């Protein structure tokens, strides 16, 4: 077992892991943050998307040991400090950008990453950026609307 420590949503988290332990499993099982989901085993679906040192990463593509010392942000850290929904989260609610909710954490994390890179994305740019996040419920229509609305609000 290997000891790892990382900062998750601003708090230090440590644990002993096997070399083969995926970062997503460390977050779900050691850190107890079950908002990050596992929807596939080929790094296709994006349900496990988190931010590692500020960049959107599919946490099933990294080993926990690779994240030793990293700054991690997950869906649990996306609300405002008073606990209310952040702008992107609120836009998903307002525009019905989620149904079963399983892909939603990954979608929100990808959307946040997109809007950090591109403050005013076109519909085509949003759709292209979300290529690595699969949603089976919404047909993406309202996810696109939500991200456009969040972009407008964030200016």
Binding site for another protein (CB under 8 A): 18, 20, 28-29, 33-42, 44-45, 47, 74-76, 78-79, 85, 89, 92-94, 96, 98-105, 108, 123-124, 126-128, 130-131, 133-144
Q: In the complex with another protein, which residue's Cβ is closer, 37 or 62?
A: 37
Nearest to 71 by CA among 91, 52, 94: 52
**Burial call 121-144: b when 16+ CB within 10 Å, e when fewer:** beeeebeebbeebbbeebebebbb
As measured in angstroms, the least distance from the Cβ of 35 to another protein is 2
Q: In the complex with another protein, which residue's Cβ is closer, 28 or 51?
A: 28
As measured in angstroms, the least distance from the Cβ of 116 to another protein is 18
Whole-number Å distance between alpha carbons of 153 and 149? 6
Whole-number Å distance between alpha carbons of 102 and 59? 15
As measured in angstroms, the least distance from the Cβ of 33 to another protein is 7
């Amino acid at each position: 077992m290997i000891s790892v420590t990382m900062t998750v949503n601003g708090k230090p988290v440590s644990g002993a892991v096997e070399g083969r332990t995926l970062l997503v499993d460390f977050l779900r099982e050691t850190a107890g943050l079950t908002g990050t989901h596992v929807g596939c085993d080929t790094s296709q679906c994006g349900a496990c998307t988190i931010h590692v040192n500020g960049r959107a990463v599919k946490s099933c593509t990294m080993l926990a040991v690779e994240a030793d010392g990293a700054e991690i942000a997950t869906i649990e850290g996306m609300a405002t400090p008073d606990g209310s929904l952040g702008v992107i989260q609120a836009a998903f609610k307002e525009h019905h950008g989620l149904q079963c909710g399983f892909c939603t954490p990954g979608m929100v994390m990808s959307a946040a990453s997109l809007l950090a890179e591109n403050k005013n994305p076109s519909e085509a740019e949003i759709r292209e950026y979300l290529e690595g996040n699969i949603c089976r419920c919404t047909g993406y229509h309202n996810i696109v609307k939500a991200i456009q609305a969040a972009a407008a609000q964030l200016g």
